[in-house]
Amino acid sequence: MLYKHPEALVDGDWLEARLEDPSIRIIDATYHLPHTDNDAYEEWTFRHIPGSVHFDIDTIADRGTDLPHMLPSAEAFAQAVGNLGVTNDHHVVVYDSNGGYMAACRVWWMFRVFGHDNVSVLNGGLAVWGKQRRPLEFDEPEVTPTTFKAEFRPHLIKTKSDMLANIDSREYQVLDARNEGRFAGIDHEPRPTECRGHIPGSVNFPFTHIMPPSHDFLIRDPDEICEMINAVGVDMDKPTIATCGSGITACVLAYAMHLLGKDNVAVYDGSWAEWGNDCSLPMGK
């Protein structure tokens, strides 16, 4: 079996051969959870893939909410990526220092939400790039701000009210990308919430099934992903919503299903950071 959208996944050989290609824009989407002492921007200034610009998901976000890195408006997104030198004609390649799950797939999803399909994820991210001794640079690239036009695709994002309505309608299958312990309400959340558990009716599908840590978070081949999908009972023909802790690793599931040809997987943007802090909502355990 082959990926239906192989263009959405590129490897180091492909990217290294195109570092000087003016039609390519490279984005470093490295992000760290708030309880760590790591600074993603500082890491980018220390070393990055040549020509890459840094994309901060907490800055290019809705700043009017207490929820983390919620999707910004189309206007704000267009302004921000335009300031990074990205146009609608560019092929955007996104990577992060953790292989893709934190938060290259999130940025991939954001570009698609705002109408830009010519976007790929670098398999293995900076970790594998560095292990392969590929070129790195320390200087910040010169960026010429340009114009990016965003066209919002509302079907790719879901809200708390959408999720609540779906509990009764079951129109969508809901996949939760968190680990088994968090899904069951046993383990603590990285961002502590008032309640633990999961959205009733959702299916646990940890993102590490797609990007196993034992393999440097390299994405599995299509046959393996299909096996994982079948093992948890996912119906590829049914409308699907992905959720997680705060809307980041849910995008790994949306990305993997896109590779297999399912282009319309939505992401619950607020995810458990929102649902788990409203104990008036139904909770599954």
- Domain 6-131 matches domain 154-275 at the CATH topology level: yes
Per-residue pLDDT band at 128 (split at 50, 70, 90): very high
Residues 6+ apart with CB under 8 A from 139: none
Angle 222-231/250-259 helices, nearest 10 degrees? Answer: 120
How does strand 203-204 pair with strand 173-176? parallel
- Read off the pLDDT of residues 249-267 as tens digits, 9 standing for 90 and up: 999 999 999 999 999 999 9
Q: In the prediction, which pLDDT does 35 show?
A: 75
Helix (H, G, I), strand (E, B) or coil at 197: coil
Q: What is the mean pLDDT of residues 12-37?
A: 94
C-alpha to C-alpha distance for 26 and 146, rounded to whole angstroms: 15
Q: In the prediction, which pLDDT does 181 show?
A: 97
pTM: 0.97
Q: In the prediction, which pLDDT does 264 show?
A: 92
Residues 6+ apart with CB under 8 A from 162: 241, 268
Q: Is the pLDDT of residue 229 over 80?
A: yes
Q: In the prediction, which pLDDT does 191 show?
A: 87
Q: In the prediction, which pLDDT does 102 show?
A: 83
With 0-12 CB in 10 A as exposed, 13-18 as middle and 19+ as buried, what is 2? exposed
Q: What is the mean pLDDT of residues 238-242?
A: 98
Q: What is the mean pLDDT of residues 103-114?
A: 97
With 0-12 CB in 10 A as exposed, 13-18 as middle and 19+ as buried, what is 180? exposed
Q: What is the mean pLDDT of residues 59-71?
A: 96
Q: In the prediction, which pLDDT does 49 show?
A: 98
C-alpha to C-alpha distance for 143 and 123, rounded to whole angstroms: 25
Q: Is the pLDDT of residue 285 over 90?
A: no
Q: Does the N-terminal peptide bond of residue 17 adopt cis geometry, omega within 30 degrees of 0?
A: no
Q: Which CATH class is domain 6-131?
A: alpha beta
Per-residue pLDDT band at 36 (split at 50, 70, 90): confident
Task: Assess contact for 158 and 266: CB atoms under 8 A.
Answer: yes
The domain limits of the chain are 6-131, 154-275
Per-residue pLDDT band at 271 (split at 50, 70, 90): very high
CATH topology of domain 154-275: Oxidized Rhodanese; domain 1 (3.40.250)
Task: Assess contact for 27 and 55: CB atoms under 8 A.
Answer: yes
- Read off the pLDDT of residues 135-160 as tens digits, 9 standing for 90 and up: 999 998 999 999 999 999 999 999 99
Kindly report the average pLDDT of the chain as a whole number: 96
Q: In the prediction, which pLDDT does 256 show?
A: 97
Tokens 């649902």 sit on residue:
275
Q: What is the mean pLDDT of residues 44-66?
A: 96
Per-residue pLDDT band at 99 (split at 50, 70, 90): confident
Q: What is the mean pLDDT of residues 232-238?
A: 95
Q: Which residues are catalytic?
A: 244
- List of E strands, 103-190: 119-122, 157-158, 173-176
H/E element, 25: strand 24-28
Q: In the prediction, which pLDDT does 38 show?
A: 87
